[in-house]
Amino acid sequence: MIELPSREKSCLSNVWRLIAAFHEESIVYCHWKSNEHVLQGMLGLTDLDILVDRAACPRLNELLSRTDFKRFSAVPSRVYPGVEDYIGLDEETGRIVHLHLHYQLTLGEKHLKGYRLPWEELILSTRRLDPAAGIYVADPHVEMLLLVVRAVLKLRTRDRLLSLAGKPYFRGDMLKEYLWLKQRTEAERVQDLARDLLGEGCAKLLRSILDGAPSLDQLLAFKRHAHERLQLYRTYGPTEAAWRRWSRELSIRFWRIGKKCFGAPLPLDRTIPRGGLIVAIVGADGSGKSTIVKKTTECLASKIAVVPIYFGSGDGSKSPLRRLLQTTLTVAGRTTKAAKSAASGTAATSTRGGSKSHSPVRWLKSTADLLVVLLIASEKRKNLRRAVQARNRGMLVICDRYPQTQVLGFNDGPRLTSMLNHRSWLLRSLARWESQSYEYAVVCPPDLVIKLNVDPLVAFQRKEDMSIEEVRRRVAAVKSLRYPSTTNVVEICADDPPEVVLRRAKQLLWNSL
């Protein structure tokens, strides 16, 4: 068995355990591209691209599950044959690791990957062990040829236009990889590989390409000479390839517009093949729930489809109409307060008259407050629909709070229950409508509830804008909340430092996926 280097120096714990399992089970594998930053990949700072012998497929699923890597499904516009996505969460650091598991070499243009090169055996048979990382990587000569071929297959008309505008095609990470590989290769050996795999013409051109930074003209000439051989490896004909590439790219753009402009729960990233989840983070003010939702969403949303939803009525997201109404109420309240202050020095008779003069203002304020409550209920209905739709599409929904009907008047519960028996049929109807909005949450409960239990004194220190009695009441209300048996409820002590609580919550959420 291969002896791995010290884990603390080389990689995250889950990556270290996975590579160790590969070696113990004699899995033939190789990190086949971008080895210039393979160490960064093992630290979760960039993705890992590992090619495996497809004969090991039955054992791989068990190994990946044992090391806490979970499979996710790419959206249809980003599915490529022979490639699977596995993502792991490192428990110690809370960092995400994205593993692209390749059973074959599927290469080509972005949004298409229209070629499959039958070079897997060559890559796996010539692999080398990286002594610093303790992971098998591609032979640099093979990787250099692959880099040139990958660059050629990705060429599009827009790249030629950019080149005419003075922007070189080989730049950024691609140029960095090229220069790194150039220091580790012999041009003659790369030429020999090109001669065997692509023909004599490509081998001759490769010499000039390797002499300096490849130009667009050199790459186009290389593509012409390699055309006859590469055509044999095409997955689609020219017309179908163009249609698929453009339809995929346009669909992604349209979905982004729909998600940004209309808030539609459309998955643009990987979904959960085991089914989506609604996760609710609940806790009293000062427990840190909003921070957990924000940080967890930031961590996971770069790799999987995540929909964060705010179910509160405070400083979170709100409809434009409610925002306008609450702003108007705030301004009106300040104006009324100033008017009362100015009138306080007048005679007692004027004070009594002033009370009557302000009654229309109070009526308007009460009406506006009622409208705000109804708008909040409407937003909750809309957000509940979004949450259910997103979950049904395989997405992860992370909720800051969740509507409930057990504690009335606060803690995300209905506020108009006192009007259910009001003499006014209009107010009774509005109260019933508001209650129905919260009943929807009972019918559609979350799949996982992470309940943050915080000591009232700790919460009071974090949120000094409330009295200690109010804090105690809210903490008790959260503890009293009950959920159906289908909901997994997990409690966390939120008195610990925020980073510790965040790491625990993130791990609990990850374990439920």
58 assigned to some structural domain: yes
Band the pLDDT of 32: cuts 50, 70, 90.
Answer: very high
Whether residues 287 and 423 share a domain: the answer is yes
- Return d(Cα 336, Cα 358) in angstroms, integer: 8
Tokens of 332: 């009106």
Whether residues 216 and 280 share a domain: the answer is no
Helix runs in 263-314, H state only: 289-300
The answer to whether residues 143 and 190 touch, using CB atoms and an 8 Å cutoff, is: no
Whether residues 479 and 420 share a domain: the answer is yes
- Return d(Cα 459, Cα 477) in angstroms, integer: 14
Q: Are strands 448-453 and 277-283 parallel, antiparallel or unpaired?
A: parallel
349 assigned to some structural domain: no
Whether residues 60 and 122 share a domain: the answer is yes
Closest CA to 419 of 379, 382, 369: 369
218 assigned to some structural domain: yes
Q: Choose the final residue of a domain: 221, 238, 255.
A: 238
- Average pLDDT of span 131-158: 94
pLDDT attached to residue 353: 47
Whether residues 283 and 179 share a domain: the answer is no
- Residues of the chain above pLDDT 70, percent: 88
243 assigned to some structural domain: no
Asked if the model's pLDDT at residue 354 lies above 50, the reply is no
Question: Looking up tokens 């009622």, which residue turns up?
Answer: 370
Whether residues 150 and 81 share a domain: the answer is yes
pLDDT attached to residue 341: 58
Whether residues 225 and 277 share a domain: the answer is no
| The model's pTM | 0.85
Whether residues 179 and 285 share a domain: the answer is no
Per residue, what are the HEC states of 314-340? CCCCCCHHHHHHHHHHHHHHHHHHHHH
Other beta carbons less than 10 A from residue 409's beta carbon: 11
| Residue 384, domain CATH | 3.40.50.300
Coil, strand or helix: which one is 274? coil
pLDDT attached to residue 355: 47
> Lowest-pLDDT range, 47-56, 62-71, 188-197, 329-338?
329-338
Whether residues 400 and 501 share a domain: the answer is yes
Other beta carbons less than 10 A from residue 217's beta carbon: 10
Asked if the model's pLDDT at residue 169 lies above 70, the reply is yes
Whether residues 220 and 175 share a domain: the answer is yes
Tokens of 19: 């590579």
- Average pLDDT of span 151-162: 88
42 assigned to some structural domain: yes
- Return d(Cα 180, Cα 140) in angstroms, integer: 9
Whether residues 274 and 396 share a domain: the answer is yes
Domain count, the chain: 2
Asked if the model's pLDDT at residue 282 lies above 60, the reply is yes
Range of the domain at 72: 7-238
356 assigned to some structural domain: no
pLDDT attached to residue 333: 62
258 assigned to some structural domain: no
pLDDT attached to residue 338: 53
- pLDDT per position as a tens digit, 69-120: 999 999 888 889 999 999 999 988 889 999 999 999 999 998 899 999 999 9
Q: What is the mean pLDDT of the chain?
A: 87
The answer to whether residues 100 and 83 touch, using CB atoms and an 8 Å cutoff, is: yes
Closest CA to 26 of 5, 1, 48: 1
Whether residues 212 and 312 share a domain: the answer is no
346 assigned to some structural domain: no
